[in-house]
């Protein structure tokens, strides 16, 4: 489909600078949706239109170097062949360490070793990585040499809410004490910078937010939630780019004609629910988009109204000769071994970035395990409650049957989890002060402070963490399947020093404010570290960004928490019986190359799942899909062991 001139004009108005001050454009979206490609294309287009442009990525798996074909890294680097364009790949680990050292160094001459050690432990908070990325944004705000700064991966709502807490900076900083991002004293110098940054983010004359997604209903749902969250913070999202729709010219069989029709329906939905003039599209290409010419094509389509070029011959880096036998690459027996529970309750985690099919795969595995006679619970932490759509049954905050014998499902309702956590903490604080006769303590004020601090996004994470941990105490299940396993960020909360567990310190909230649960957390971590009890399956589709994000996340889990990856799931493989043309031959060859690289990077069995005309919905379709991909149909009920609950 051609890009309409009105849509291109709307998109151009969003990204093109209009004033004398440096302006900022943020591209946000899940991994693998083409966010980096769109960011690079936008920056290139701006530079080609004589705007001095800086492109910044905070993506933990940056691929700007691959897209531009040159080394970039953690320093601002001029882009070869594009006048007016520079780029930097901010390394999140380096940035976090720089933030820690910047915070600690001024204190070394003032504090003793024990106090310094306490601060260092405090700065192991996973919030520090997000704030370090935000700090870099603040640094680039003072860049008058650039007309526009393009950010690949915007600061999350979580980070921005941290910066808005507490609402009265002066009053809170005067109290002293600690925050989850450093001692209050260290924040004083940053106060004005952070307030100015928030003001700039909320100024839609200087800052534009654009979302990038796939032409899929789940992607639109996720973007709507994110846009709503930003809206509550006073930040307006102004552009939606749907990337990777199937070109009409290559869809010459019923399978891909149907897929294309579904995508076009989603695009129409997006134009109805968002501003149609600020909803742009770009088609799927036969290979990955890299190099100045293809980036110019993307920019021309999005911002000049040009018609997209789909050149099958552009994918010259893959060998598309001959058929690709995906089935021969699967490790069927090893997959069954990883999915089948042993003598104690087993925990199976499907983890990965949004949009890679975790919910469907978790539900499919749970259905087949239940069919084999295992008492199974599947739990999702997805705020979209996608399990209800998959099973066609209500799924609540507590385990409920979903129509299949031996199978229950549950989802963590964030609001209910937070309410439960608030009640738990406030009851504990009230009990702490009930019997105290120390008249110097203003109990009402102390409780009021705790109530305020429970509005923190850190409290939301702790609430979800508390509920997550509770599922390890559910009796009667042979296996618990988690959809969207806790991220390394959340797991590092579990790894905080034992006297900090169950607590987020934001100013006046003391370490005793939340009930101590160190032993329980330790037991959960040890269970997740035990490969005999827990299986971690990373889900991805075989492309560079999803693979690298999964690889880095897996490395973080092993390095920081001691959890090994047990299984890799490659999803959305192009079926061999459809798409008999050069376009899809190139795409299959590219997928095969990445499957080889996935094997090289991950020391784990490989489970393969094909692209389907429609996602499986209902128990019958889940069962059939599971028989195709899991091998669990070969597990007889007679082989089911007696399981000892944990």
pLDDT above 90 (res 240): yes
* Residue 642 CB coordination number (10 Å): 6
- Give the CA distances from residue 613 to residues 258, 317, 578, in Å, rounded to whole numbers and listed in that order: 7, 28, 11
- Over residues 551-605, the pLDDT tens digits come to 888 888 888 778 899 999 999 999 988 998 889 999 999 999 999 999 999 989 9
The domain of 579 spans 327-410+478-495+524-639
**DSSP letters of 593-641?**
HHHHHHHHH--S-EEEEE--SS---SHHHHHHHHHHHT-GGGS-GGGPP
Q: How many domains does the chain have?
A: 2
Q: Are residues 402 and 274 in the same domain?
A: no
Domain's final residue, options 284, 314, 344: 314
Q: Are residues 219 and 295 in the same domain?
A: yes
Q: Does 440 fall in a domain?
A: no
Q: Are residues 385 and 283 in the same domain?
A: no
Say which CATH number the domain at 126 has.
Answer: 3.40.50.300
pLDDT for 502 equals 42
Burial class of residue 21 in the structure, from the number of CB atoms within 10 Å of its CB (0-12 exposed, 13-18 middle, 19+ buried) = middle
283: DSSP letter: E
Q: Are residues 341 and 307 in the same domain?
A: no
Q: Are residues 291 and 344 in the same domain?
A: no
Q: Are residues 104 and 253 in the same domain?
A: yes
Q: Are residues 203 and 336 in the same domain?
A: no
**Is 586 or 510 the better-scoring residue by pLDDT?**
586
- Packing angle of the helix pair 358-371, 619-629 (nearest 10 deg): 90
> What are the start-end ranges of the H helices in 435-517?
443-453, 457-470, 488-494
Q: Are residues 258 and 356 in the same domain?
A: no
Q: What is the average per-residue pLDDT within 209-220? A: 90
- Over residues 381-417, the pLDDT tens digits come to 766 557 888 998 889 888 999 999 999 999 888 888 8
Which range, 186-200, 216-230, 490-504, 626-640, is most confident?
216-230
Q: What is the average per-residue pLDDT within 155-163? A: 68
Q: Does 428 fall in a domain?
A: no
**Is 188 or 297 the better-scoring residue by pLDDT?**
297
Q: Does 292 fall in a domain?
A: yes
Q: Does 453 fall in a domain?
A: no
Q: Does 473 fall in a domain?
A: no
Whole-number Å distance between alpha carbons of 513 and 375? 37
For tokens 């998959």, what's the residue? 390
pLDDT above 80 (res 80): yes
Whole-number Å distance between alpha carbons of 142 and 523? 47
Q: Does 382 fall in a domain?
A: yes
Query: What are the DSSP E strand ranges found in 353-478?
Result: 376-380, 400-401, 407-411
Q: Are residues 289 and 359 in the same domain?
A: no
Nearest in space to 633 (alpha carbons), one of 440, 374, 372, 454: 372
Query: For the chain, how many residues are written?
Result: 646
Q: Are residues 600 and 624 in the same domain?
A: yes
Q: Does 424 fall in a domain?
A: no
Q: Does 625 fall in a domain?
A: yes
Per DSSP, the three-state class of 171 is helix
Domain's final residue, options 266, 282, 314: 314
Domain's final residue, options 314, 341, 375: 314
Strands 407-411 and 376-380: parallel
Q: Which residues, 6+ apart, have CB-to-CB distance to 431 below 8 Å?
A: none
Q: Are residues 304 and 342 in the same domain?
A: no
Percentage above 90 pLDDT, the chain: 32
Q: Which residues, 6+ apart, have CB-to-CB distance to 90 below 8 Å?
A: 56, 57, 58, 74, 133, 136
pLDDT for 322 equals 53
Q: Are residues 280 and 256 in the same domain?
A: yes
Average pLDDT, the chain: 81
């Amino acid at each position: 489909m051609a890009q309409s001139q009105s849509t291109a004009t709307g998109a151009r108005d969003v990204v093109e600078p209009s004033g004398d001050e440096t302006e900022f454009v943020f591209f946000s979206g899940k991994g693998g949706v083409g966010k980096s490609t769109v960011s690079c294309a936008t920056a290139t287009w701006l530079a080609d239109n004589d705007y001095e442009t800086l492109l910044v990525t905070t993506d933990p798996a940056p691929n700007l170097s691959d897209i531009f074909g040159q080394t970039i890294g953690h320093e601002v680097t001029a882009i070869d062949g594009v006048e007016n364009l520079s780029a930097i790949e901010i390394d999140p680990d380096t940035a976090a360490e720089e933030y820690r050292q910047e915070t600690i160094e001024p204190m070394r001459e003032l504090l003793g070793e024990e106090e310094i050690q306490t601060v260092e432990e405090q700065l192991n908070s996973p919030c520090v990585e997000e704030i370090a990325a935000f700090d870099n944004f603040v640094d680039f705000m003072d860049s008058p040499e650039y007309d526009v700064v393009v950010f690949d991966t915007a600061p999350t709502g979580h980070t921005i809410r941290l910066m808005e807490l507490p609402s009265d900076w002066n009053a809170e900083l005067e109290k002293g004490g600690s925050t989850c991002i450093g001692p209050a004293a260290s924040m004083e110098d940053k106060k004005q910078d952070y307030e100015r940054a928030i003001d700039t983010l909320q100024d839609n004359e200087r800052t534009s937010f654009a979302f990038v997604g796939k032409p899929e209903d789940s992607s639109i749902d996720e973007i709507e939630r994110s846009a709503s969250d930003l809206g509550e913070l006073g930040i307006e999202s102004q552009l939606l780019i749907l990337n990777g729709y199937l070109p009409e010219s290559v869809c010459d069989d019923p399978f891909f004609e149907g897929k294309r029709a579904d995508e076009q329906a989603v695009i129409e939905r997006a134009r109805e629910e968002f501003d149609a003039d600020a909803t742009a599209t770009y088609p799927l290409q036969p290979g990955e988009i890299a190099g100045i010419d293809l980036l110019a094509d993307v920019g021309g389509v999005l911002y000049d109204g040009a018609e997209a070029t789909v050149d099958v011959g552009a994918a010259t880096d893959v060998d598309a000769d001959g058929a690709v036998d995906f089935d021969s690459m699967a490790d069927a027996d090893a997959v069954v071994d990883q999915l089948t529970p042993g003598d104690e309750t087993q925990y199976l985690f499907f983890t990965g970035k949004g949009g890679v099919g975790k919910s469907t795969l978790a539900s499919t595995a749970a259905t087949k395990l239940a069919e084999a006679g295992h008492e199974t619970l599947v739990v999702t932490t997805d705020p979209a409650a996608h399990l209800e759509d998959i099973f066609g049954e209500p799924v609540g905050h507590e385990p409920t049957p979903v129509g299949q014998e031996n199978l229950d499902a549950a989802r963590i309702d964030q609001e209910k989890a937070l309410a439960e956590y608030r009640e738990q903490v406030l009851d504990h604080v009230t009990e702490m002060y009930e019997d105290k006769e120390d008249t110097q303590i203003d109990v009402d004020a102390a409780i009021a402070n705790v109530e305020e601090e429970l509005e923190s996004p850190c409290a939301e994470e702790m609430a979800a963490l508390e509920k997550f941990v509770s599922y390890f105490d559910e009796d009667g299940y042979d296996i618990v399947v988690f959809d969207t396993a806790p991220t390394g960020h959340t797991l590092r909360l579990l790894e905080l020093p034992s006297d900090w567990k169950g607590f987020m310190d934001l100013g006046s909230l003391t370490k005793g404010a939340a009930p101590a649960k160190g032993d329980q957390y330790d037991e959960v971590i040890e269970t997740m570290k035990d490969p005999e009890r827990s299986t971690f399956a990373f889900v991805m589709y075989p492309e560079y960004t999803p693979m690298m994000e999964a690889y880095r996340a897996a490395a973080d889990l092993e390095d920081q928490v001691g959890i090994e990856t047990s299984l890799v799931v490659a999803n959305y493989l192009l079926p061999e019986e459809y798409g008999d043309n050069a376009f899809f031959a190139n795409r299959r060859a590219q997928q095969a190359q990445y499957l080889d690289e996935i094997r090289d990077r991950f020391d784990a069995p490989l489970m393969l799942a094909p692209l389907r005309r429609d996602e499986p919905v209902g128990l019958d379709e889940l069962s059939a899909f599971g028989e195709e991909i899991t091998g669990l149909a070969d597990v007889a009920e007679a082989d089911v062991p007696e399981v000892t609950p944990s």
